[in-house]
């Protein structure tokens, strides 16, 4: 029986001593496992972290950077969303397994940073082109004009 290969972000907790250990790795975009119709992993994930022992615990701190493509929930246009996690922090409490893989923790923090529904950024103070802008909607109808508008409605068979 062969063991699965170690992830680039795997380490042995027993080898983290008093001095901090620095890891700089590039994970493939596929590590995000984005299989959603409105989001795609675009670029590799750049990870720069430091492992520091605090008694029996291990503190992981660092930076995570990538780019994810998201589909605008209003117009359907694809947008590139830069993800910069300059405050990636994890506390690994004992008991520790023989090998710890930080990839699922990095993935989770990236996904939590993404919006539930992406929208195009405002351009010149205007929202996404398919979002109603001030002055786009017809004004309210008052008085007898209401009945004229209602008379325009026809029934379909």
Q: How many helices (H) and strands (E) does the chain have?
A: 2, 7
pLDDT in tens, 28-75: 999 999 888 899 998 999 999 999 999 999 999 999 999 999 999 888
Which residues lie across from 63 on neighbouring strands?
A: 48
Question: What is residue 3's predicted lDDT score, i.e. its pLDDT?
Answer: 45
Q: Which residue has the higher pLDDT, 106 or 150?
A: 106
Cα–Cα dist 96/57, whole Å:
9
Q: Is the pLDDT of residue 139 over 70?
A: no
pTM of the predicted structure, to 2 decimals? 0.75
Q: Is the pLDDT of residue 121 over 50?
A: yes
Long-range contacts (CB closer than 8 Å, 24 or more residues apart) made by 80-88: 80/42, 81/114, 81/115, 81/118, 83/110, 83/113, 83/114, 85/109, 85/110, 85/113, 87/61, 88/49, 88/60, 88/61, 88/62, 88/63, 88/64
Question: What is residue 153's predicted lDDT score, i.e. its pLDDT?
Answer: 81
């Amino acid at each position: 029986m062969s063991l699965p290969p170690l992830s680039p972000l795997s380490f042995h907790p027993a080898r983290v001593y008093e001095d901090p250990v620095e890891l700089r790795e590039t994970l493939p975009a596929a590590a995000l496992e984005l299989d959603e119709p409105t989001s795609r992993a675009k670029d590799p994930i750049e990870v720069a972290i430091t492992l520091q022992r605090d008694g029996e615990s291990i503190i992981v701190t660092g930076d995570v950077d990538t780019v994810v493509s998201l589909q605008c929930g209003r117009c359907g246009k694809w947008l590139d969303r830069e993800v910069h996690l300059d405050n990636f922090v994890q506390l690994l409490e004992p008991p520790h397994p023989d090998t710890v893989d930080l990839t699922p923790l990095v993935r989770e923090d990236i996904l939590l940073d993404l919006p539930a529904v992406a929208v195009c950024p405002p351009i010149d103070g205007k929202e996404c082109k398919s979002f109603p802008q001030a002055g786009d909607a017809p004004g309210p109808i008052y008085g007898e004009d209401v009945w004229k508008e209602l008379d325009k409605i026809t029934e379909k068979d």
